[in-house]
Structure 1
């Protein structure tokens, strides 16, 4: 049976901190990432696990590299380097 890999605990706090640095409220970040304020709230409370496409949208909106957010959300065993290519095996939320 395949082991379930969980995101790093309290990853939402990092996203909240970045959002607050830009002086965005949850509604603004939701608009920038084409999602709902409720989803931003769930991500910031570490309830919803952001997909790779959501991580990319968050990174763009928060002006950080997507791999920066990946490292704060998913453990190293999910993100592996192989031949200078990043392999991402993110479980669905």
Structure 2
């Protein structure tokens, strides 16, 4: 693949293409705001404090795909410090993100 087509293979570009094909036009823009090593708690803070690029502010739909980073060792230690299981801690983070 040429260097200019690399981004087209990424999941956000594929999702955007699929939705626009199904909708019959260029109606949807997908923005990938992934930052390596972050988790749901940090993503929630980014949303709360408006730490997003202008083109991604006030989204109609937001997909939270932090689940693998939520299993990070720091999250495990935070769960232990709060006297809860890792599952409970991750569930609570996801609930706080959604609400």
TM over 0.5: no
For the pair shown, the structure with the greater C-alpha radius of gyration is 2
The structure whose residues are more often strand, as a share, is 1
- Between 1 and 2, higher relative CO (CA 8 Å, sep ≥ 6) is seen in 1
The structure whose residues are more often helix, as a share, is 2
